[in-house]
Structure 1
Amino acid sequence: MLRLTNVQKYYGGFLAIDIPSLFIEEGLWWVQGENGSGKTTFLKMIAGLHPFNGTISLNNLTITKQRQQFVKLVNYAEAEPLYPSFLTARDLVELYCQTKGGDILFAQELLKQLHVFDAYTQSIGTYSSGMIKKVSLALAFIGQPKIILLDEPLITIDASAVNAICTMINDSYKKGVSFIITSHQAVRSEQLGFTGKLLVENRTIHKNSE
């Protein structure tokens, strides 16, 4: 599914990530690593939000040569999302549906499951951090993604939302969508049955065989 070859990410002269070769099969992947190890950088490179050296390809598409097609198949939700305070959830849903080819009614249903739809037409500036996080997570499921990247999706939100998100992940996975998820929180197997783990350490990323 996802292949990284000679991928390097520099911040100035500092080499933050160095991945000679990594192939990630379809599945539900848990990314583990210490704070500052590079987990978020890893996701943002795949999402097309960070420049890098090397090649990242999804099936037959490479992010450098077929960027538009690539990023349409990769959705991403940040750990601590930020949006202009004057926008509403409706504005964001309409924008994402337009760019990702998504269904507005489906997006609205996700917001209802996360108990944030009542504020659909209110400005983001009136939202709590948990409400903003829920909107961000719902947006990550819009369109027809092949892979969804979720950075710490279970923090900030309440217990009922955690259960809803896990259900959304499992339902999408059954339909053929793969996930790469970072989480410092212990995740019970009945919540998310991860098919594999990726370990971020020593400035590189490899599959955890444990």
Structure 2
Amino acid sequence: MTTHSQPIVELTNVNKHYDKVKALQGINLKVMPGEVLGLFGHNGAGKTTMMKLILGIIKATSGTVNVLNADPISSQAFESRKHIGYLPENVSFYDHLTGKEVLTYFARLKKVPKQQITDLLEQVGLTHAMNRAVKTYSKGMRQRLGLAQAFLGQPKLLLLDEPTVGLDPIATQEFYQSVDKLKSTGASIILCSHVLPGVEQHIDKAIIISGGKPLAQGSLQELRQQAQLPVTIKTQGLNGALVTDERFGDFVVAADELKVPEEKNLEVVKQLLEMNNISNLQVLPADLEQVYQYYLSHEHLSQKPVNTTEETKA
């Protein structure tokens, strides 16, 4: 990915109002080729509205939306839609069709070779059920069929709204492997989820929204830095020596645990490694869940979102 690439998705000063309801306010966003964006917020925050704008299902009240070099509601966007995959939060298919027939229908719409249907059914673990009616599928199986539909045509842009709902841990892991594989081919992905554990290693940057407004935006590292969240250091073998050592007084939260400002992390780790009896230590930066909770709880302070990665590097 180069800094000179054209954004796959670009939203500039976007607002969306429904009568008196301000669903989105002041959204600025760029998603570059091969980039995975995590879109986070509680129900009603405006996540699905943003997806609908990008898909061209609804029109922005003001601001500009550009997807694959076209306004998604314009006639020029017709061809580019073949390069977009979408998994809605609530997957719905014709119950009397088989899994294979459902994918065949969508493959014809996208003019995708039939071989992809078989490959995708195998990829999502539905080969055994491909000739069964969808009405016999469990919720997890329907979700996996939805994923296969979204992956059809190896899309340049993939929009996933709560994609792991109904998936067991193994299927969730396999889903993220598919996302990583698609990203490696240069596809851009917008991943909307309220299930945060396990997501952070698969995203390049995040945007957190609440009440339609952006609270924070950037890489996880940038969000941590702006929030000034401490690093947790867990130790083994010190037998309470942390508590009595005045160097660590302000940082001790338990007999074997410290919470240290990020800029002092290295200094403290060096001091710990010099201590007698230390047998192990673990350094844990704030995870996505902690970052998310911080911005929601400090919403009134979040006036300006962090710069996106591209703007920081520009």
TM-score (norm 1): 0.89
Q: Is the 8 A contact 2:46 2:212 kept in 1?
A: yes
Q: 1:115 to 1:35 in 2, by over 3 A?
A: same
Q: Does 1:28 align with 2:54?
A: no
Q: 1:122 to 1:72 in 2, by over 3 A?
A: same
Q: Is the 8 A contact 1:29 1:194 kept in 2?
A: yes
Summarize the alignment of residues 186-205 of structure 1 with structure 2, pairs less than 5 Å apart.
186-188=196-198, 192-205=201-214
The residue number in structure 2 matching 1:8 is 15
TM-score (norm 2): 0.61
Match of 2:67 among 45, 53, 58: 58
Percent of aligned pairs with the same residue?
A: 26
- Separation in 2 of the partners of 1:75 and 1:18? 26
**Ranges in structure 1 where 5+ consecutive residues have no aligned partner:** none
- Separation in 1 of the partners of 2:123 and 2:155? 20
- Separation in 2 of the partners of 1:103 and 1:71? 17
Q: Is the 8 A contact 2:159 2:189 kept in 1?
A: yes
The residue number in structure 2 matching 1:141 is 151
The residue number in structure 2 matching 1:86 is 96
Q: Which amino acid aligns with 1:16?
A: A
Q: Is the 8 A contact 1:93 1:104 kept in 2?
A: no
Match of 1:46 among 54, 61, 65: 54
- How many corresponding residue pairs? 209
The residue number in structure 1 matching 2:280 is none
Higher helix share: 2
Q: Does 1:101 align with 2:111?
A: yes
Note the alpha carbon deviations across 1:9-56, whole angstroms, 9 max, x for none.
233432211235332323011111112111122112212233433432
- Separation in 2 of the partners of 1:119 and 1:12? 46
The residue number in structure 1 matching 2:233 is none
Summarize the alignment of residues 116-135 of structure 1 with structure 2, pairs less than 5 Å apart.
116-135=126-145
Instruction: State the shift of 1:143 in Å.
Output: 0.9
- Separation in 2 of the partners of 1:121 and 1:59? 35
Instruction: State the shift of 1:90 in Å.
Output: 1.8
The residue number in structure 2 matching 1:75 is 85
- Separation in 2 of the partners of 1:39 and 1:19? 14
- Separation in 1 of the partners of 2:201 and 2:79? 29
- Separation in 2 of the partners of 1:50 and 1:119? 35
Query: SS at 1:197's partner residue?
Result: strand
- Separation in 2 of the partners of 1:105 and 1:36? 39
What's the Cα RMSD here?
Answer: 2.1
Q: Is the 8 A contact 1:102 1:144 kept in 2?
A: no
Note the alpha carbon deviations across 1:46-84, whole angstroms, 9 max, x for none.
122334334321242221222312322221101221122
Instruction: State the shift of 1:173 in Å.
Output: 0.5
- Separation in 2 of the partners of 1:34 and 1:79? 14
Q: Is the 8 A contact 2:176 2:202 kept in 1?
A: no
**Ranges in structure 2 where 5+ consecutive residues have no aligned partner:** 1-6, 224-314
The residue number in structure 2 matching 1:18 is 25
Q: Which has the larger radius of gyration?
A: 2
- Separation in 1 of the partners of 2:213 and 2:53? 13
- Separation in 1 of the partners of 2:98 and 2:20? 40
- Separation in 1 of the partners of 2:201 and 2:119? 21
Q: 1:96 to 1:169 in 2, by over 3 A?
A: same
Which fold has the larger relative contact order, with Cα–Cα distance below 8 Å and residues 6 or more apart in sequence? 1
